[in-house]
Amino acid sequence: MGNNDLIQLAKSLELCDERGLVAKCVIAYTGAHQAANIMFGRTQGAGSDGFIGIFKDQVVCFETNTMGTKPTKERFRVSFEFITAHEVKKGFLGLNNQLTISTEKDFFKLYFMGKRRPMIEQINQAIV
């Protein structure tokens, strides 16, 4: 799927607006979800593949289809006014890149590859 096709699909799903700020990421599971996976013998990675974008004044995150190429199911949608903190940083030992978003009730951690850092930085700067 090309970048233009992805942006058109993202616009139709209200994942991004005319700015086209959308990037692929890995949505981290919570500690409780990881523990449940281990207990039941599932060996999934750090989380599920997804896309993050900016739609008007909201941060939107969608999970991908099985092949990891198209956004399919909305994971969360948070208005800028409820975000208390957000940050792009290097992870443990500088091995990964993270975008963290906090609200009063929720905490979201998203991992992304280095080549997507410029787009994630734009998304982070768009959060007011």
Of the CA atoms within 13 Å of residue 43, those in its CB half-sphere come to: 0
Q: Identify the residue with better confidence: 66 or 60.
A: 60
Percent composition of the chain: helix, strand, coil (DSSP 3-state, to 5): 30, 40, 30
The arithmetic mean of pLDDT across residues 59-69, rounded, is 90
pLDDT for the residue numbered 37: 60
Classified as helix, coil or strand, 90 is strand
- pLDDT of 7 above 80: yes
Predicted confidence (pLDDT) per residue in 10-31, tens digit: 999 999 999 999 999 999 876 6
Average pLDDT over residues 69-82: 93
Q: 71 with 64: CB under 8 angstroms?
A: yes
**Mean pLDDT within 52-63:** 95
Averaged pLDDT, 61-65: 92
Give the class (CATH, top level) of 3-126. mainly beta
What pTM value is reported for the model?
0.84
Is pLDDT larger for residue 48 or for residue 81?
A: 81
The whole-chain average pLDDT of the chain stands at 87
